Structure 1
Amino acid sequence: MARDRISELPDTLLLHIMSFMSTKYAVQTCVLSKRWNHLCKRLINLTYSPVPNLPKKSGVERFKKFATWVLSTRDHSCSLRNLGLHLCWTEPELLDKIIKYALVCNVQQLILDVYSGFRPDFESLPLIFCSQSLTSLELCIAWNYALIVLPKSLHLPVLKNLRLQCVRFTASDKDSAEPFSNCHLLNTLVIRYCSLHDDAQVLCISNSTLSSFTIYEGQTYQILLSTPNLSSFTIRGSASHQLFSTCNLSFLEEVNIDMSWDGRWAEKSSIISSNIMRWLQVLASVKKLTFSSWHPFQIMLHDFSNPISVRPEPLSLVRLESLKVIKHFFVNVSDEKVNTLVEYLLRASPMAKVHIVTRA
């Protein structure tokens, strides 16, 4: 009989190997032998993803089995490194139980991409935002397209990466929301389809450690940056946000502007173009500027070619080293028009390299 060399490996090594497996297959190793039966109970990475095209009722039952196994069978003395719930429907009580369990086990990385047909109580939500162990959090919890309202401040002292989708920020001072100032190690922040609660009008991104910030489309509001160590800024899908800063962003290395086309933009190109220019005034210390879609550049071209358009104040991109523009191959625009806008953008940095990249 062939020697079972895999089973002879130490538990720590086997658990490390199993951490790269999906939870479903890792748990199935329990049928191999008595040793494996106990080994899978000590998994440190737990993820759940539904079977594609599975009916909602069946999906709820499958998640219930997954959660029941976690809550009743897993070795509770083992810390939990990662819990990921992806695109699953669930009952609110069960979701609360499994989130609370993960927090008790000092979970470090938490992904919640969850939908429910009715409003859950979410007793666990306040516990998430004061966790002492979380280093990474991705949160998208929605019921009937309503949005979760976050507390005024997130108290996550060791959090480094945060992705928020479909949430609402609460004002902490008059009309301003300032949720991130107590995340003292935060490095990366991504917010998408988010809005402000009640009468709040300004989202203040106040954090001295934040290095990378990405904002996607969502409700229109003002964004106030108080991020002295910001090195990367990306805005996608919307040109409506107004951007301000309390610092000179002297460490800003790259800015990426990416907007999808909206047929109504031709009617208000002057407003959008001016808004983009105001962004660039705030982000004037950038070294690498990329228009990763043609549309924002196209809007500015349209505005610049309008004889009645009022040109904004000249930009002062004095640190700019490179300008990159992604141009669609079907775009028919003269090099002269493109060069006019490029020269305007590079007025304070004529030695910057220019890359016009044509893509399908």
Structure 2
Amino acid sequence: MLDKHEMSSMSDFLEESSVREKMKRKRKNEDENDESEGNEDRLSDLPDGVLLHILSFLNTKHVVRTCVLSKRWKHLWKRIPTLILHSSRFSTVKQFSIFVSNILTRLDNSTALHALDLNRLGNIEPQILKKILNYVSSHNTHIQELGISVSADSSLIMSCVSSCHALTSLKLSIYPRDRYDFDSGILFPKSLNLPALTSLNLSNFVFCGDENGRAEPFLAFTKLNSLVIGSCKARDAQILSISNATLVNLAMHNSSRPAFAKIELSSPCLRTFTFNGRPVHKICGSGLSSVKQVNITAQMYSVNDMSHMVLFSWLLELANVQSLTVSSTTLRILSLVPDLLDIELPSLCHLKSMKIKLEPSEVQLGLPLILEQDMLKKAAAKSRKEVAKLRKAFKTGWQLPSIPEGIVNFLLQNSPSAKVDITTY
């Protein structure tokens, strides 16, 4: 059996080459001439199960198009076990809605649905969403992978999700239909019975706290291996507790607004920690001590921001990390820590490799100005002459280096033999 990479390559070939060529031939010849000498169709000789497996990697719009290839393919698409419904593949919202409505009435219901990925940019028509959710619910004992990214009524979606007890992978990015209410977030159920779940990806959810001001939304997922949290918030809670005995990979992505003051990590099997956004959460507990791989792409927006100190506190907890990937912006933020290069770092003692990704200036927002102000402040502590010299340099177009001087050696002070790789995004 081919692996995912090979399947993806084969599906790209099918989409970009085979489908188009065979559609052209279909328009030119009758079905019986397609199988004549010189037009050998080796793809159609494969068993149905193999063809359906290949088609599962394609957007459903392209899967349906295969019906014109030959008589063999006319009804094959109706037995597809995976639906990938992305509105970006359609010119108008109306085309997307008509397509979805049509295929859901033509699919072979005797074929179990194993995976569905719905992505609708903006509001989805309520009747179309209801049809999709009803179809999912009718296969709730078989579906294993579910992804929904829409602006819609969350109660309908969460009701459907809660009935799919066989789910192993769940990705939810739900926003209110009212664009003025986007910052409110969707309440995440305190008890969600998904015993087989191993992968969870959440965006724009609100976790409710208990009487102690602690939110613990993931306790029920006893097989969870991978967790992604994006722009989530807490209600009546200052602490987000991620306590899970099986969690291996944790990724966090946040907006510019603080979501909760502290993250309490108690995941002894945690090996990978990925962060993208503004470091605002203090991390406590034993969670980071087991981490082997760290990926950080930090951001900073204000001169009064304390992101550099939070970021530094994270590094102090990375006692056993072996692989560190950081953006150049992350290193620039870290350089704002007072007297950083004079500090003896107690962590990063087992580092084997460090990768630095150089970011273009347009993604750094107001950081260059923050760095300039910091340099001027440090120069003022020395003399007015130093300040004047620095102001003149800035005026003539001198720019701060992408990687602050001395910071790489600072991070490698306990692992001087670690390999350093500098790349561009």
Taking structure 1 as the reference length, what is the TM-score of the superposition? 0.81
Work out the CA distance in 1 between the residues paired with 2:402 and 2:148. 48
Work out the CA distance in 1 between the residues paired with 2:418 and 2:312. 20
Question: 1:236 is matched with which residue?
Answer: 276
Contact 1:42 1:78 in 2 (8 A): yes
1:78 to 107, 111, 115: 111
- The offset of 1:109, in angstroms, is 1.5
Q: Check 1:20–1:302 CA distance in 2 against 1; reply closer, same or farther (3 A cut).
A: closer
Q: Check 1:151–1:31 CA distance in 2 against 1; reply closer, same or farther (3 A cut).
A: same
Work out the CA distance in 2 between the residues paired with 1:30 and 1:323. 50
Match of 1:78, SS state, is coil
Match of 1:239, SS state, is coil
Aligned pairs for 1:1-360 (under 5 A) are 1-3=33-35, 5=41, 9-31=46-68, 36-51=73-88, 54=91, 58-59=92-93, 61-88=94-121, 89-105=123-139, 106-116=142-152, 120=153, 122-129=155-162, 131-143=164-176, 144=179, 145=182, 146-172=184-210, 174-196=212-234, 198-218=235-255, 219-220=257-258, 221=260, 222-247=262-287, 249-250=289-290, 252-262=291-301, 264-265=302-303, 267-268=304-305, 271-291=306-326, 293-305=327-339, 314-327=345-358, 332-333=400-401, 338-339=405-406, 341-347=407-413, 349-353=414-418, 355=420, 357=422, 359=424
Return 5+ residue gaps in structure 1 as ranges: none
Q: Check 1:80–1:172 CA distance in 2 against 1; reply closer, same or farther (3 A cut).
A: farther
Write out per-residue CA displacement over residues 193-247 of structure 1, whole angstroms, 9 at most, x where no aligned residue.
1111x31221111211111111112342121111111111011111111111245
Question: Max radius of gyration: which structure?
Answer: 2
Contact 2:242 2:267 in 1 (8 A): yes
Q: Check 1:50–1:122 CA distance in 2 against 1; reply closer, same or farther (3 A cut).
A: same
Q: Residue 282 of structure 1 aligns to which amino acid in structure 2?
A: E
- The offset of 1:148, in angstroms, is 1.6
Contact 1:157 1:183 in 2 (8 A): yes
Q: Check 1:332–1:239 CA distance in 2 against 1; reply closer, same or farther (3 A cut).
A: same
Farther-moved stretch of structure 1 (20-29 vs 134-143): 20-29
Write out per-residue CA displacement over residues 84-130 of structure 1, whole angstroms, 9 at most, x where no aligned residue.
112343223431331242143122221211124xxx26334134145
Work out the CA distance in 2 between the residues paired with 1:177 and 1:33. 56
Contact 2:270 2:288 in 1 (8 A): no
Question: What is the identity percentage for the equivalent residue pairs of Structure 1 and Structure 2?
Answer: 33
CA RMSD of aligned residues (A): 3.2
Work out the CA distance in 2 between the residues paired with 1:317 and 1:38. 58
Q: Check 1:345–1:22 CA distance in 2 against 1; reply closer, same or farther (3 A cut).
A: closer
Q: Residue 132 of structure 2 aligns to which amino acid in structure 1?
A: I
Match of 1:112, SS state, is strand
Write out per-residue CA displacement over residues 172-204 of structure 1, whole angstroms, 9 at most, x where no aligned residue.
4532221222222222211111111x3122111
Q: Check 1:37–1:321 CA distance in 2 against 1; reply closer, same or farther (3 A cut).
A: closer
- The offset of 1:248, in angstroms, is 6.2
Work out the CA distance in 1 between the residues paired with 2:44 and 2:275. 50
Contact 1:191 1:216 in 2 (8 A): yes
Write out per-residue CA displacement over residues 291-316 of structure 1, whole angstroms, 9 at most, x where no aligned residue.
2x222322332333599xxx878433
Q: Residue 315 of structure 1 aligns to which amino acid in structure 2?
A: P
- The offset of 1:79, in angstroms, is 0.9
- The offset of 1:82, in angstroms, is 1.8
Q: Check 1:38–1:2 CA distance in 2 against 1; reply closer, same or farther (3 A cut).
A: closer
Return 5+ residue gaps in structure 2 as ranges: 1-32, 362-398
- The offset of 1:286, in angstroms, is 1.3
Taking structure 2 as the reference length, what is the TM-score of the superposition? 0.70
Contact 1:328 1:358 in 2 (8 A): no
Q: Residue 225 of structure 1 aligns to which amino acid in structure 2?
A: L
Contact 2:300 2:307 in 1 (8 A): no
Work out the CA distance in 2 between the residues paired with 1:47 and 1:229. 33
Contact 1:277 1:312 in 2 (8 A): no
Contact 1:86 1:113 in 2 (8 A): yes
